[in-house]
Structure 1
Amino acid sequence: MTKFEYLSVLTSIIIGLALANLLSGAARLIQLRARVKPHATTLCWMAMLFLANIQIWWVAFERREANEFSFFAFLLYLMMPIATFLVSFLVLPDLGDEDQVDLAANFDGNRPWFFGLLGLVPAVSLIEEWTHDGNIPLDSDAAFRFVFLGLCVLAACVRSARFQLWNAVFVLCGFVAYVSVLFLQLR
């Protein structure tokens, strides 16, 4: 087993837990559809988080040829899947035996934490690139991460449901474009 294979197991477990939470939450929403008022913002973020978790796992493959790993560099890298796991958990309320499930109230109540943790992902990604390469290239990849980080900061501060919906749609479409342009092929 290589060092990369050994370290990627923990990353895969964290991402797998996030995906399991999103997928089981989606299944529970279908089961409880009579008691759940649909909330487009939550559904957009669920789709985006599904893609983000897969993208983090997908990009981890680029590390397979690295010969040196340090504990703190790995810990910094783990902050991305950990943050997406936490956000994947916050996006949905506990779907227990309540009479009504209020997705909008859950999203609004968790909004500052949701976007604070989500903003960690591009921030950590940029910091990690800077510590690993000594700089952050000003390319479309970095530009997307800066814009994404800015939108997270803005969305954490804005309560407007209309803004939150348009932000979720914009980020989901932007993320699909980002992955389509930069990450379609495993490198």
Structure 2
Amino acid sequence: MDNELSGVEIFPHVRVIMGVIVGMGITRLLAGVARFVQHPSREEMSTIHLAWVGAILLMLVHFWWCEMALYGVRDWSFGVFFFLVVYTVVLFLMSVLLFPDNIREYASYEDFFLNRRKWFFGLLALSLVLDIVDTSIKGAKHFERYRLDILVFTPLFFILCLLAMRTANRRFHLLMVTLSIAYEVLWVALLFGAPR
């Protein structure tokens, strides 16, 4: 990109495109939950499914907030912009896998989720890798701040995603979503809970 625009001028444009995709993911999740509220007897609710809905909703909101750190990026390229769009699309696709257009050939949302778990956890594992690149884009200081998380949590959760792809064991999936929610809540509390 030519040097006519500064990073400060480019960032709002990038954030709008990402916001549209994140907003579509949040909308998908909220509309799906609204179906349960509107027609409680039509679909069977599942702890695993609803817990993942909550986890991905929290992940999308957390992601959106953390992308504010892109404000400090000075050197933008189409490659960086395209990468960020792809990362956001991966998060959106996880929302779609939680609330597909229809589940007629499945017994319930949980049945759909467990049958499509390879896609869901494949995307979740991919999002972990993409997050490392995203953290790097935000600069060395930002990367250093999350170094322990990247070196410890990311590989551990990546392995758990691979295991989740292989098993339909409900206890494992309940443990997995519980760990995911606990991790997100912990990070949100640590990063945003205390005034600075």
Quickly name the TM-score band, shorter chain normalised: 0.7 to 0.9
The aligned residue for residue 149 of structure 2 is: 141
Identity over aligned pairs, percent: 26
The two structures, once aligned, show a CA RMSD in angstroms of 2.7
Q: Partner letter of residue 190 of structure 2?
A: V
Q: Partner letter of residue 124 of structure 1?
A: L
Aligned counterparts of 2:148 and 2:195: Cα–Cα separation in 1: 18
Deviates more, 1:131-140 or 1:37-46: 131-140
Q: 1:8 aligns with which of 15, 22, 33?
A: 15
1:82 deviates by 0.8
Identify unmatched segments of 5+ residues in structure 2: 1-7
**4+ residue runs of structure 1 moved beyond 6 angstroms?**
none
The aligned residue for residue 125 of structure 1 is: 131
Change (3 A) 1:182 1:151: farther
Change (3 A) 1:161 1:155: same
The aligned residue for residue 40 of structure 1 is: 47
Q: Contact conserved, 2:97 with 2:120, CA < 8 A, in 1?
A: yes
Work out the number of aligned pairs and report it: 186
Deviates more, 1:6-15 or 1:135-144: 135-144
Q: 2:162 aligns with which of 138, 148, 153?
A: 153
Q: Partner letter of residue 156 of structure 1?
A: M
1:86 deviates by 0.2
Aligned counterparts of 2:128 and 2:191: Cα–Cα separation in 1: 15
Q: Contact conserved, 1:41 with 1:165, CA < 8 A, in 2?
A: yes
SS in structure 2 of the partner of residue 2 of structure 1 = helix
SS in structure 1 of the partner of residue 67 of structure 2 = helix
Aligned counterparts of 1:160 and 1:94: Cα–Cα separation in 2: 25
Change (3 A) 1:124 1:177: same
1:17 deviates by 0.3
CA-to-partner distance for each residue in 1:84-141, whole Å, 9 max, x for gaps? 1000010124358x6x961121111210000001111111111343466579647343
1:35 deviates by 1.9
Aligned counterparts of 1:147 and 1:178: Cα–Cα separation in 2: 16
Aligned counterparts of 2:190 and 2:149: Cα–Cα separation in 1: 9
The aligned residue for residue 173 of structure 1 is: 182
Aligned counterparts of 1:167 and 1:116: Cα–Cα separation in 2: 14
The answer on 1:19 being equivalent to 2:6 is: no
TM-score of the aligned structures, taking structure 2 as reference length: 0.83
TM-score of the aligned structures, taking structure 1 as reference length: 0.86
Aligned counterparts of 2:9 and 2:175: Cα–Cα separation in 1: 44
Any residues of structure 2 matched to 1:30-109 within 5 Å, and which?
A: 30-94=37-101, 102-109=108-115
1:186 deviates by 9.7
